[in-house]
Amino acid sequence: MKKRAFIIAMCMTLALSFGAVAGCSSSDDGAASNPDAVAGTETTPRLMPAQHQKYIDRPAYKCYKCHGASEKGNPTVSTSRAMPAGHYVDNDPSSFQLDPSREECRTCHSVDPNKQMNADVLEDAEVETGQQDLDEQ
């Protein structure tokens, strides 16, 4: 009986170990192209590309304008990564309202200097959302 319980416990441990490893294998676009970049997981917030540092430095930029849901779509800018449903009031992106605890993206999402993205994509997104002149203000 003890031997059987031991075998069952070992099988459960092994199965849980495989599940934990699989959960850590989540990839992120920037991380896939650069081995030094850090990928987000189910429990770890995604890190922003290095080019997003100016958005951190200038709070006038609003993450929601690119990454949030709007009448134009979810996300508003098609080349952006959409915010998870859990970031919205009642977990509902169609509300177009962020949960108050999620309004300051910088709280959880920091910049990874090793994660790069195309600067033209950022420039196009700024123009599309009307944020292109914020550097000059």
Evaluate whether residue 137 is within a structural domain: no
Evaluate whether residue 88 is within a structural domain: yes
Residue 87, pLDDT > 70, answer yes
Residue bearing the bigger pLDDT, 66 or 36:
66
**Listed range (7-16, 22-31, 75-84, 86-95) with the worst mean pLDDT:** 22-31
Evaluate whether residue 106 is within a structural domain: yes
Evaluate whether residue 18 is within a structural domain: no
Give the C-alpha separation, 104 to 12, whole Å: 40
Identify the residue whose tokens are 């992106």.
Answer: 93
For residue 87, the enclosing domain spans 46-131
Please give the DSSP secondary-structure letter assigned to residue 46: P
Burial environment of residue 80 by CB neighbours within 10 A (0 to 12, 13 to 18, 19 or more): buried
Output the pLDDT for position 31: 44
- What are the start-end ranges of the H helices in the chain? 2-23, 29-33, 53-57, 63-67, 119-128
Output the pLDDT for position 32: 46
Give the chain's mean pLDDT: 77
Evaluate whether residue 118 is within a structural domain: yes
Evaluate whether residue 40 is within a structural domain: no
- Give the chain's domain count: 1
Give the C-alpha separation, 55 to 126, whole Å: 11
* CA distances for 136 relative to 58, 59, 123, 124, 132, angstroms: 11, 14, 14, 17, 9
Note the pLDDT tens digit of each residue in 3-50: 777 677 776 766 655 544 433 333 344 444 455 545 555 567 888 888
Residue 126, pLDDT > 80, answer yes
Evaluate whether residue 36 is within a structural domain: no
Evaluate whether residue 2 is within a structural domain: no
Amino acid at the residue 18: F
Residue 98 forms beta bridges with which residues?
A: 88
